[in-house]
Chain A
Amino acid sequence: MNNKTLIAAIAAILCVLPFVGLDNYHLHLIIMILIWSFVYTAWSIMGRFGLVSLGHGAFMAIGGYVTALLWNELGLSPWVSIPVAMIGAAGLAVLIGYPCFRFRITGHYFALVTLALAEVVRQVIVATRDTTGGSLGYTPESHGEGWSVYAFQSDDRITFYFVALVVWLMGIVIWRTVDQSMSYYALEAISEDEDASAAVGVQVTKEKLKVTILSAMMTAFAGALYCQYQMFISPSTIGGIGLSLQIVFGVVVGGIYSALGPTIGAVITLMLAEVLRIWMGAGVVCMTERVCLNLAGVPLLVYGIMLVLFIIFLPKGIVGACTDQWREMKSNRKASV
């Protein structure tokens, strides 16, 4: 298959990438892109079936905070605490998802309920500031120099690069597995017409719940990974409404309906943010003595305009628009022959 060779080629390039003389900064950028790609992929796994969640901040925060807290307070290795965090996220997904799906809360009502969930988790983190550090953020204790398998920490970026690469690949594999399963057809049918699919025997609640749990667990894992890599988490970087919208933005730009869409979205949005940040600096430009422009806001401004334009003109994202174009060209060629 065409797509498979493409993915294999990308994977091969990515494998040799750290050895071609990339400096730490660029390696860091790529690691961040890989981690966020995984988050965006996790979100799209449910988002593409019309289950638009604004609550993924909650799952990501649980992943990060549970892992870091268990390490600092109980000395529990992330190898134990990450699964614990993932199970916690799954539990929360059931707690919110089951009633939502059972009572047919869909569309923007679902988005708002999940938004409330993200806010609950964020506020709990802020409220328990004595243990979690509140809005100031939290740092897992370092195990010392070098890398440690037990602590799942490494100050060497190349090690982490490969961890992130494997995780990202896993994300794509999970996406494809879902694509080839019966659940895919069930969920596709549900997103078209819930009542009709229930009438032909699709177990609507169960199918939706399965994909939600999967997505929540993946997101929690990404939160833990982010925490282990950055060694710092705060409610605003891995939780809350800002994060949820950031995920949505990346996915919308890349394209929600194909496996590589979220990844391409992450590449574009993170590179754009980085380029704008370097280009603009954090500088303040003064036109006159009283009129000063703070250029640090430009990335947000550009993000916002792009998101609006994409939703109006390219709702399927870059990848979706390209594949549509490609198909059209193909069928035109066939027609002319």
Chain B
Amino acid sequence: MMAEFMDGLFSIFFVETLINALLLGGVFALLSLGLNLIFGVIDVVWICYAEIIMLGMYAIFFLHAEGGMPIILAACCGIGVTALIGWLTHRFVIGYLLQAEPINQLLATGGLLFFFQGAAMVVFGIEFRNVGVSLGSLSVTEDIYLSWTRLLSFVLATLTVVVLYLFLSRSYLGAAIRAISQDREIMILMGVDTKKLYLLTSAIGGGLAGLAAALLVLQYDVHPFIGLSFGPITFMICVMGGLGNMVGGFLAAFVFSLLITVGGYFAELEWGYVMAFTFFIAAMFARPKGLFARNS
């Protein structure tokens, strides 16, 4: 048993697994980025965030596979669509609930989750749809193949974190957004239009969902319930990273992906998820504000 385990540990496939974990972490990081921004600034958990990604995937699928748009252009349009959905979500749902209990905000977005799933089912049907674009894979050695899509998401996630970080720390708007997340009441007294900033943040968050959708659509078939398969993990990454902490969320994404892939390597993939979720629960007990939260 032990020898088998050690063999497993040093095999070439394990190395491949680790690299894949790193790349999957990139996908997770990208998935949770927008949610993290919204969570940090507006202090609302959008349970329906994964469903917005699903709608983005459908938008890209239809523009490319049915509308004949080049994939890059379709992806850009998809980002526009999800940004609009993010804006609408805040304008017509969260905006009315800013003073309500946090849990009611969470449940209202739970309603949106049903709504998005239902709408997708009515309009697009329940068939699995594939966009039919594949970037292929890169062969590093004879045994190790890396998916170009995952490499791309890794690079893109890193880039987006950097851009978002620069935007938040260097630009005027970014400073306003950071200030609002520190003290909601005072900012209004300072003459800041919080409404506008919240809408902007929601639109950016939605747009980031579109970016994630563009990469997911290359790897997975779209169907109305795809959000359920990666939704929970996305919230957990955000919470574990610490409320609105971009870098923490980025790191948490890699912790989760490592647990899932390594768990999946030694047993079934589901055990990887079981490990990741159990780890999340344990981490919450140890540090309720998130594993990478700044001490304040």
A residues near B (Cβ < 8 Å) are 50, 52, 96, 99-100, 103-105, 107-109, 111-113, 115-117, 119-120, 123-124, 126-127, 240-242, 245, 248-249, 252, 284, 292-308, 310-312, 315
Contacts and interface: CB of A to CB of B under 8 A. Distances in A.
Q: How large is the interface on B (under 10, 10 to 19, 20 to 34, 35 or more residues)?
A: 35 or more
Given A119-B273, A242-B228, A311 B288 contact: no
Nearest to B51: A304
A115 B234 CA distance: 12
B72 interface: no
Nearest to A298: B122
Nearest to B274: A123
Contacts of B119: 297, 301
B106 A108 contact: yes
B117 interface: yes
Given A103-B285, A116-B281, A304 B231 contact: no
Interface in B246-296: 267-268, 270-271, 273-274, 277-278, 280-281, 284-285, 288
Contacts of A302: 118
The 8 closest A-B pairs by CB, nearest first: A297-B121, A304-B115, A301-B118, A307-B111, A300-B118, A304-B114, A127-B270, A308-B111
A301 B97 CA distance: 21
B120 to A, nearest CB: 7
A308 B93 CA distance: 7
B270 A123 contact: yes
Nearest to A312: B96
Nearest to A51: B103
23 contacts: A50-B101, A107-B103, A109-B288, A112-B235, A119-B232, A120-B278, A123-B277, A127-B274, A245-B47, A245-B114, A296-B121, A296-B126, A300-B114, A303-B111, A304-B112, A304-B113, A304-B117, A305-B111, A307-B110, A308-B93, A308-B112, A311-B100, A311-B104
Contacts of B126: 294, 296
Contact of A249 (B96, B111, B123): B111
B49 to A, nearest CB: 13
A113 B284 contact: yes
Contacts of A311: 97, 100, 104, 107-108, 111
Residue picked from B120, B126, B232, B271, most chain A C-beta under 10 Å:
B232
B228 A297 contact: no
Contact of A104 (B45, B120, B288): B288
Nearest to B267: A127
Contact of B281 (A96, A242, A245): A96
Contacts of B118: 297-304
Nearest to B289: A109
Contact of A109 (B113, B121, B239): B239
A315 to B, nearest CB: 6
Contacts of B8: none
A183 B11 CA distance: 58
Nearest to B95: A312
B285 A307 contact: no
A1 B97 CA distance: 36
Contact of A301 (B115, B271, B277): B115
A245 B112 CA distance: 11
A236 to B, nearest CB: 9
Contacts of A305: 111, 115
B292 to A, nearest CB: 15
B129 to A, nearest CB: 13
A297 B103 contact: no
B116 interface: yes
Nearest to B48: A304
A170 to B, nearest CB: 27
